[in-house]
Amino acid sequence: MALHATAFCFGGVVSLPRNSVSFSQRTVRASAFSSPPPLSSSSIAISNVQGKAFAGDALPDTKESSLVVCFGEMLIDFVPTSNGLSLAETPAFKKAAGGAPANVAVGIARLGGSSAFIGKVGEDEFGYMLADILKENNVNNEGMRFDPGARTALAFVTLRSDGEREFLFYRNPSADMLLQEAELDFALIRKAKILHYGSISLITEPCKSAHIAATKAAKDAGVVLSYDPNVRLPLWPSAKSAREGILSIWDTADVIKISEEEISFLTEGEDPYDENVVRKLYHPNLKLLLVTEGPDGCRYYTKEFSGRVEGMKVDAVDTTGAGDAFVAGILSQLAVDLSLHQDEDKLRDALLFANACGALTVTGRGAIPALPTRESVLNVLLKSVA
């Protein structure tokens, strides 16, 4: 995906005055947390799909002012070549670059935006391969670091017949866990318009301290903070520590993307479709909360309004990276127009685009290999309203 907006995925290059990245408040609709009717494809004007809703086309000169920096892990996913088998039964695996923050960085770039990645890999063949993949996809990789004493993380993925996954991780410790605060490219972080991150980098030291330092530097510089918890329980010491760790930085984010399963986990089993439950996760400083529901689309919540945008039905092959593609889709547009969350019509169009990004990704195997280009997303949206 080639993006013309820069999202800070630990590695962006954007110089912005602090005031230019603040979310100004404007009342759009008074019905906080009301639920508008689902978006139907017929309600999307072709003119919107062709460009009006996707600011990257309209603002070609803003690339260096719309950097998204993604911070966190990058690793190798070994994806089975056939579905419905256990790891032991799978005869072969396909090697694919992955890691949620890196997926988002590549996704933004493929959509035409500006992105960077900050993280650590091993000083090994896999590490250099990942650095090259970022470069080949037009992602700024100046914030990458190489550890001579630890290997690049690996993850073996089991695919059920419906394309859903289970993971087996090899990281004891892997290089991404060893990133230190002193190794951070703070100049790059401060240049971002958006800094995007997950929770895996909070699990162990020294990466946890580096994560906190990075987000503090970004916040102090007026950079918008985007958080996708991306819960991976096998990596945490316990479910309790995962819940506490994920929520420990919850109130600092400006934008949060979460799945319905993650809502149930963080609220200890409460109904993720209950509006009162979702409201518990909407902290006072949050500007936009997005709840993804796989093929069913997503819900959105701001201080002024809320609603739902239907998903796009496709035949799923591998759901790895679908949520990251969705995040790339929305951040690529938010990086161009930070007021997007204040206009419900614009937000809904942007989320329709993001849903299409996620849907196209599940039709291929692996995360980064399956991320769509902006052209392919627009083509499928045009077909849906034809």
**Over residues 171-200, mean pLDDT:** 97
Confidence of residue 16 (pLDDT cuts 50, 70, 90): very low
Nearest to 184 by CA among 367, 10, 363: 10
User: DSSP for 195-239?
Assistant: EEE-SGGGSSTTHHHHHHHHHHHHHHTTPEEEE-----GGGSS-H
Residue 51 has pLDDT above 50, yes or no: no
Domains and CATH numbers, the chain: 67-74+99-151+173-385 (3.40.1190.20)
301 in Cβ contact with 288 (< 8 Å): yes
User: DSSP for 42-53?
Assistant: GGS-HHIIIIIT
**Over residues 152-162, mean pLDDT:** 84
What pLDDT shows up at residue 79? 84
Residue 25 has pLDDT above 70, yes or no: no
Residue 27 has pLDDT above 90, yes or no: no
Contacts for 241 with CB less than 8 Å, ≥ 6 apart: none
Pick from 40-44, 120-124, 269-273, 320-324: least confident: 40-44
Contacts for 86 with CB less than 8 Å, ≥ 6 apart: 158
What pLDDT shows up at residue 386? 63
Nearest to 253 by CA among 220, 302, 286, 229: 286
**Over residues 59-86, mean pLDDT:** 80
Residue 139 has pLDDT above 90, yes or no: yes
What pLDDT shows up at residue 64? 55
Distance CA 38, CA 352 (A): 11
Confidence of residue 35 (pLDDT cuts 50, 70, 90): very low
What pLDDT shows up at residue 163? 63
Count how many Cα atoms sit within 13 Å of the Cα of residue 218 in the half-sphere of its side chain: 37
What pLDDT shows up at residue 15? 27
Distance CA 305, CA 308 (A): 11
* The model scores a pTM over 0.85: no
Q: Please give the residue that has the higher pLDDT: either 290 or 65.
A: 290
